Amino acid sequence: MEKKTENNRNSRQNSRGPRRDDRGKKGRQKERKPSALEEAGLIDKLITVNRCAKVTKGGRTFGFNAIVAVGDQNGMVGIGLGKATELPESIRKATENARKSMIKVPLIDNRTISHLIIGRYGSGKVLMRPASPGTGVIAGSAVRAIMECAGVKDVLTKAQGSNNAHNVTKATMSGLRDLIKIDRVSSVRRSIVAERSKANG
């Protein structure tokens, strides 16, 4: 009787087929296609997402707006705002707008900004200062995302006034847009020194 029961168990297991561990993983190992950003050598970082509601006669209609930073980590960076009724669509629009508004940021040794600058937008201010190697990105989440997309590795920042993500990101981009190259910085300083020496006689 015992042999018969063992044979029955073996026949049942064989009829069920191989166990899950022995099954092949065909169909699961699909290669992920690179996105359009990856093909262009760009990275994107989601800064903030907001959910808003519009009151109409038929009730409330909800929507989303997103801010995304896009850059090549080599001095090119941009931010974009996207609005839509669905979250993925708002992020997609923000990414497209960020790619269209990219600017070139002058970097020293591909790691820090060329000089101290204060970016302003509305009631928000962002102070950005060059830093020595190994300092890292000392910044809040919104400013950090922009700096990392731009390829800035060492910088000291301080946000003042409005801490709204929209104001902070636009103030940061305003400051980066006003940066000038290091050779122009030295020429400007020389001219200022010359003017002061002439004024002093």
pLDDT of residue 20: 55
155-161 and 137-138: which strand pairing?
parallel
Cα angle value 55/57/59 (rounded, 5°): 55
pLDDT, tens digit (0-9, with 9 covering 90-100), for 25-69: 555 555 656 667 777 789 999 999 999 898 888 888 889 999 999
In a domain, 193, yes or no: no
Kindly state the average pLDDT of the residues 122-148: 94
- Banded model confidence at residue 158, pLDDT cuts 50, 70, 90: very high
CATH number for the domain that contains residue 106: 3.30.230.10
Average pLDDT over residues 135-157: 94
Q: How far apart are CA 105 and CA 93, in angstroms?
A: 23
On whether residue 16 sits in a domain, the answer given is no
Q: What domain range includes position 141?
A: 37-185
Does 92 map to a domain? yes
pLDDT of residue 183: 60
pTM: 0.73
Could you identify the residue written with the tokens 């979250």? 87
| pLDDT more than 70, % of the chain | 76
DSSP 104-141: E--EETTTEESS-EEEEETTEEEEEEE--TT--EE--H
Q: What is the pLDDT of residue 191?
A: 74
Q: Is residue 18 part of a domain?
A: no
Q: How many domains does one find in the chain?
A: 1
pLDDT at 165: 92
For the cut 80, the answer to whether the pLDDT of residue 134 exceeds it is yes
